[in-house]
Amino acid sequence: MLIKDILKMEADNQEITVSGWVRTKRDMKNLVFVEVNDGSCFAGIQCTFDKGKALSAETGLALSRLTAGASVKTRGRLTPSPASGQKVELAAEELFIIGETDAESYPLQKKRHSLDFLREIAHLRARTTTFGAVARVRSRLAFAVNRFFEERGFFLVHTPLITSNDAEGAGAMFQVTTLDLAALAKSAAPPDWSRDFFAKHCYLTVSGQLEAETYAAALSRVYTFGPTFRAENSNTSRHLAEFWMIEPEIAFAELPDLMALAEEFLKYLFADTLEKSEDDLAFFDQRIQKGVIENLKNLVTAKFTHITYTDAISELQKSKAPFEFKPVWGCDLQTEHEKYLTEKVASGPVIVTDYPKEIKAFYMKLNGDNKTVRAMDVLVPRLGEIIGGSQREENLQKLELRMAELGMNTRDYSWYLDLRRYGTVPHSGFGLGFERLVQYVTGMANIRDVIPYPRAAGQADF
Ligand code: 4AD
């Protein structure tokens, strides 16, 4: 039986068996308190051994050898707990150590470890309070994502991870090859990709969007939810080289529909976390980021502010804030600008639209001004950009022209252009960075602490 279910039971002196890992052991004069946690919920269960009662020799020995980190099975009776903060406890009668832990060498000692240190022992960090809570919130969020789309008539599409196209046109891609790199390094000739495994130059995908578009042009509403890879050397607290992205793609939808969907989606996920992760959130609020619960509650009812990129730039230019990067029309918004817009201008989430075409991807729909595209970024206080998306260019000639301007080979994208050739429709989609979402709801400062095994420049341990 899982501890989460045991803790919800009425204590009726019924016999219960608990399996889990020992968090703490306190040996008092007459009693031994052992806190056992199985990760099924935030709390562990207190197992109280009464030395006055005749415990078997085996249990006595196990108790004396027991240390934090050991895996155990214990049997006893569920009784009301006199201790504050817990309704029930186990009046334990029997204890078996399943796997001992050497107290000297066990890396998770009683003291609070720094997040930096725990990153070095990522294989054990899920056993800590913080990472157990992150893992549960992350898992529930993934379910909520799927439920949200299922309830709204979206179909999940598994888009490929190995690809020969650069969906974002940004070039930050990892190459996938089985060519002999050592031999290539010695040879003066350029690689012959036709002799490679896929008979062409291939990469790990940066986004499932282009393939999702092909399914939206058949099933109307689809989404992908999978890992994406970017070889950007950005060593920041909100970038990973491998991250999970949720990308809905909707046919017959224009930018305002997309903005409404993004707002509804985020609010749904925040509300779901408040409801289903109460205990874990209480921990984050107390120990990780004060006010994280209040913030989520406010966001569920807040109206997201809408502003065009051009207006956002003039707001930034009017400000007296000492920006490191001067805000000028045509430049990408920096984190400090995003912070200013959400925290000072809007005091809440902001959807910035209609960016200059030069700083956005080739597939975005061109506005009548010929200068800006129907793009949107959703920015949230504290974190900045959490969602990026756009209405797509559905006009064949305009898209071909834009690709030519960017020097792209339209032959490589003929399948993508077919969508515009045959039964084209206005369509739109966005990408939500899943780790940024988990970061935001938990208040964890570093994105590397919300994914089990972070991959970033110089980091691919385990
Ligand atoms: O704005 P991006 O690059 O958009 C796309 O990839 C589009 N194809 C999405 C679409 O329209 N279907 O990325 C979308 C989101 C960002 O807003 C951010 O939350 C996250 O993905 N993201 C990252 N998260 C972690 N590490 C990185 N290196 C990220 N790059 C983007």
Nearest to 42 by CA among 309, 211, 277, 202: 277
Question: For residue 39, what are the contacts with CB-CB under 8 A and spacing of at least 6?
Answer: 20, 126, 127, 132, 135, 136
- pLDDT class of 17 with cuts at 50, 70, 90: very high
Structure confidence at residue 166 (pLDDT): 87
Please provide the average confidence, as pLDDT, over all residues in the chain: 95
Tokens standing for residue 428: 């739109």
The DSSP symbol for 334 reads P
Nearest CA to ligand 1 atom 20: 433
Encode pLDDT of 299-311 as tens digits. Answer: 999 999 999 999 9
Residue owning tokens 């779901």: 272
The amino acid at residue 35 is E
- Report which ligand 1 atom has the smallest distance to the Cα of 385: 17
Q: How many helices (H) and strands (E) does the chain have?
A: 14, 16
% of the chain surpassing 90 pLDDT: 92
Structure confidence at residue 334 (pLDDT): 95
Encode pLDDT of 137-195 as tens digits. Answer: 999 999 999 999 999 999 999 999 999 988 888 779 999 999 999 999 999 999 999 99
Phi, psi of 398 (to 5 degrees): -65, -40
Structure confidence at residue 361 (pLDDT): 96
Higher per-residue confidence, 83 vs 244:
244
Fold adopted by 3-99: OB fold (Dihydrolipoamide Acetyltransferase, E2P) (2.40.50)
Name the residue ranges covered by the structural domains of the chain.
3-99, 125-449
Write down the pTM of the prediction. Answer: 0.96
The DSSP symbol for 425 reads -
- Report which ligand 1 atom has the smallest distance to the Cα of 249: 12
If you average pLDDT over residues 220-235, what whole number do you get?
Answer: 94
Distances (CA, A) of 82 to 11, 24, 47, 86: 12, 18, 12, 8
Angle at 283 between CA 282 and CA 287, to 5 degrees: 125
Cβ burial of 334 (10 Å; 0-12, 13-18, 19+) is middle
Nearest to 46 by CA among 104, 99, 6: 6
Encode pLDDT of 104-150 as tens digits. Answer: 999 997 677 899 999 999 999 999 999 999 999 999 999 999 999 99
Structure confidence at residue 22 (pLDDT): 97
- pLDDT class of 85 with cuts at 50, 70, 90: confident
Nearest CA to ligand 1 atom 7: 431
Structure confidence at residue 322 (pLDDT): 94
Encode pLDDT of 253-266 as tens digits. Answer: 999 999 999 999 99
Cβ burial of 153 (10 Å; 0-12, 13-18, 19+) is exposed
Structure confidence at residue 461 (pLDDT): 82
Query: Cα(377) to centroid of ligand 1, in Å?
Result: 10
Helix (H, G, I), strand (E, B) or coil at 69: coil
The amino acid at residue 274 is L
For domain 125-449, give the CATH number. Answer: 3.30.930.10
Structure confidence at residue 112 (pLDDT): 79
- pLDDT class of 53 with cuts at 50, 70, 90: confident
% of the chain surpassing 70 pLDDT: 100
Distances (CA, A) of 343 to 43, 292, 303, 326, 381: 35, 15, 14, 18, 6
DSSP string for residues in 166-217: -TTSS----EE--S-HHHHHH-SSPP-GGGSTTSS-EEE-S-SHHHHHHHHH
pLDDT at 204 over 90: yes
Structure confidence at residue 237 (pLDDT): 93
Rounded Cα distance, 382 and 14, in Å: 48
Structure confidence at residue 153 (pLDDT): 98
Nearest to 372 by CA among 337, 410, 402: 402
If you average pLDDT over residues 395-411, what whole number do you get?
Answer: 95
Rounded Cα distance, 216 and 428, in Å: 9
pLDDT at 31 over 80: yes
Pocket around ligand 1: residues whose beta carbon is below 6 Å from it? 167-168, 207, 209, 230, 232, 239-240, 243, 245, 247, 385-390, 429-431, 433, 435-436
Helix (H, G, I), strand (E, B) or coil at 160: coil
Encode pLDDT of 272-325 as tens digits. Answer: 999 999 999 999 999 999 999 999 999 999 999 999 999 999 999 999 999 999
* Contact call for residues 305 and 347 (beta carbons, < 8 A): no
Query: Cα(440) to centroid of ligand 1, in Å?
Result: 15
Structure confidence at residue 239 (pLDDT): 95
- pLDDT class of 54 with cuts at 50, 70, 90: confident
Tokens standing for residue 462: 């385990």
Rounded Cα distance, 228 and 240, in Å: 10
